[in-house]
Amino acid sequence: MDKSRKLGKLRRGVSIIGVGMTKQGHIATTPEIKGMTERELWHWAAREAMEDANCRPHDIQAQYVANTAGEWFTGSFHLDGALQRWCGLKRDGLGVAGCRVESACSAGAHAIREAIFSIASGVYDLVMAGGVEISSVAMNRTEPAAITNLTNVEVLKGYMTGCDRAFHYLQEPWATTIFGGWLTAYAYQYGLSKDDIYDALDGLVISRHHSAAHNPKACLNFELEDYAKERGFASAKEFLHSKLNPVEWWPVRFWDFEIATDGAACVIVCATESAREFHPDPIHVLGTGCAHGQLYNPTYSCPAIVEAAKQAYEMADLTPEDIDFVELYVCGAAVEFTAVEDIGFSKGGEYWKIVRDGRTAFDGDKPVSPSGGLKAFGDTVGAVGVCQAYEVIKQIRGEAGSRQIHPIPRIGLTHTLGGTGDTTQVINIYGRK
Amino acid sequence: MTEEMVLHPPIDNVLQKARAALKEGKLFGLKCNKCGTYSIALAGYSCRHCGSFDLDWVELSGKAKLMPSASVVYPLGEGFVEIGEPYLCGVVELEEGPLMTARIYDIPDFDFKNKPERVLDLIGIKLKMDIRVETVLDMEGQYCICFVPA
């Protein structure tokens, strides 16, 4: 079978009828989630999603839970079995179908895809899909609720266990690609100067914080302008060019990176034909695409993103011009420029100017990551794809509070990237038909 | 045990063979007998173009050029304390065609502190392989495929 063979459509409609999510933060310090393990985080997200969907645990037929680095950080695998006991799915010793889903940082988007396919096939009608992750600290192996603090380098070691140790790991592909190299390649392609690069990065960081400041569930929910002034700087820009923001992977600086967070998110996925029995305003799954590839490529473009987007657009019968906003996976700022242009949300060579001019915040004319993105909302690793779905559903419903995009969007796209050498790219499109 | 009972695996110990070669300063590739494409043996046992398993072991030349994805790495510890010397890391294209990522050393007059943007001027330069023992995160003292200007 040729891999370019046209993919099929979903055999019946699939909708999202409930969303839930914890505050994003660090279980050692963030008041709302302090001292929680994956179990309490999952209970919070799953319970909120079921309440939002007006369904009960008895209605759920399967559970797909994304958890990426449990073995490294908390000493657990097969967490899905335990988690069914924490959200009412296992009763009298009998639970529902499902499994843990793992595909690096794209795991959550895959969990949603598993739910989509299991419903579209006709096997199930109502499925819980979500993700939970703790990656800011390690949990003590002999005292399950006790925390061991980690340095940033130790956290990085944990993340990079997703890299192929036989080859990629020793060649540091993260440095040459998503942490820095993709932006160098983008600058090379379009002739950006050093000042152009930093103007774009400044605009990116300031816009993400502006969106996150309006998101109570974001980890760093403050305006960078305020943060800088509290520390004696005249402006956010002056702070970003200070010694408090050193370059780590040129051209990408410390504050251009994501904030790694702990947390959980959950969505309730339902057959469209019965969705309104539970929720008056179901948001539909319009398309989904997925492709594996590699992060190191001849140019700044990533063919796996292009392929995943193509699949999702074809399934949805949409073009990039139909997309009102996107939630983007950006661990290092270098990803942003490649991903947005590979998705087609901006034309080649134009996006850096849009970012520079601050037009990508929730109140701009080209909204990207209105949640605050991985930069300020947080990167919950396995849960990210579900956090992104949460934001997209809230925006389309018009329930995003003070960060609501106007006019209220009809169609949103999530891009989720997994891996640091080999890569999995997932594109999901949600909206109203 | 009769001869016909001995199983003949369809693959040999690819990684052991390729890793052992690195210690001798050699980078092994796999040449596809179907389409002629070269792959890096460490990267996987199938042709990177057509997927064929009909492959011959070959030694790669180690000649390469720097591609546009490149970055300067500044190893920083807690509190932004420098914990190592900065270095260049980039995507390289081997003379035989495969892409890989690698550390690139000994760039003449590269001012890591003041002019990291010079990396943009280095795109396309010719490189040669220089296998070195490195530590990468928790993998200590490993033979890594590095490059220097040709």
Summarize the confidence of residues B45-55 as an average pLDDT. Answer: 97
Sign of the CA dihedral running A167, A169, A173, A175: negative
What mean pLDDT is predicted for residues A142-164?
87
Please give the share of chain A, as a percent, with pLDDT higher than 70.
99
Q: What is the mean pLDDT of chain B?
A: 94
Q: Considering only CA atoms, which of A335, A413, A333, A319 is closest in space to residue A370?
A: A413
Q: Is B119 on the interface with A (CB under 8 A)?
A: yes
Interface residue A152 vs chain B (CB under 8 A): yes
Range from A22-26, A72-76, A83-87, A214-218 carrying the lowest mean pLDDT: A72-76
Helix axes A334-343, A303-316, angle to 10 degrees: 40
Name the amino acid, one letter, at A122: G
Q: In sequence order, what DSSP letters do the residues of chain B get, joined into one string?
A: --GGGS---SS--HHHHHHHHHHTT--EEEEETTT--EEEGGG-SS-TTT----EEEEE---EEEEEEEEEEE--B-GGG-B-S--EEEEEEEETTS-EEEEEE---TT--TTT-GGGHHHHTT-EEEEEEEEEEETTEEEEEEEEEEE-
Higher pLDDT, A76 or B46: B46
pLDDT grade, residue A2 (50/70/90)? Answer: low
Confidence at B3, pLDDT banded by 50, 70, 90: low
pLDDT mean over B23-32: 97
pLDDT in tens, A304-340: 999 999 999 999 999 999 999 999 999 989 999 999 9
For chain A, the average pLDDT equals: 95
Q: Measure in Å the smallest separation between the Cα of B110 and chain A Cα atoms.
A: 14
ipTM at complex level: 0.95
CB contact A300 to B (< 8 Å): yes
A151: contact with B, CB 8 A cutoff: yes
Torsion angle of alpha carbons A393, A343, A386, A295, nearest 10°?
-170
Task: Say yes or no: A77 contacts chain B, CB-CB below 8 A.
Answer: no
The average pLDDT across A186-196 equals 97
Provide the number of CB pairs (under 8 Å) joining chain A to chain B: 127
A90 token code pair: 């296992």
| Measured CA angle at A292 (ends A287, A294), to 5 deg | 135
A188: chain B residues, CB-CB within 8 Å: 68, 120, 123
Tokens 């989509």, residue? A116
- The predicted structure's pLDDT at residue A142: 85
Rounded average pLDDT over A124-141:
94
Q: Are residues A404 and A215 in contact, defined by beta-carbon separation less than 8 angstroms?
A: no
Q: For residues A389-395, give the mean pLDDT.
A: 98
Q: Say if the Cβ atoms of B77 and A170 lie within 8 Å.
A: no
pLDDT band at B88 (very low <50, low <70, confident <90, very high): very high
Q: In chain A, what residues touch B23 (CB-CB under 8 Å)?
A: none
Torsion of CA A35, A41, A44, A47, to 10 degrees: -150
**Six-digit token string for B78:** 């807690």
Nearest-CA distance B2 → chain A (Å): 36
Residue of B nearest to A159 (CA): B137
pLDDT at A1 over 50: no
Q: Which of A242, A239, A197 is nearest to A222 (CA)?
A: A239
> Which has the higher per-residue pLDDT, A177 or A266?
A266
CA torsion A112-A118-A119-A121 (nearest 10°) is 140
Give yes or no for A188 touching B (CB within 8 A). yes
Q: What pLDDT score was predicted for residue A161?
A: 87
Mean pLDDT of A179-189: 96
pLDDT at residue A4, rounded to an integer: 58
| The predicted structure's pLDDT at residue A144 | 81
Q: What CA–CA distance (Å, rounded) separates A294 from A419?
A: 9
pLDDT 10s digits, A40-94: 999 999 999 999 999 999 999 999 999 999 999 999 899 999 999 999 999 999 9
The band of A279, judged by pLDDT with boundaries at 50, 70 and 90, is very high
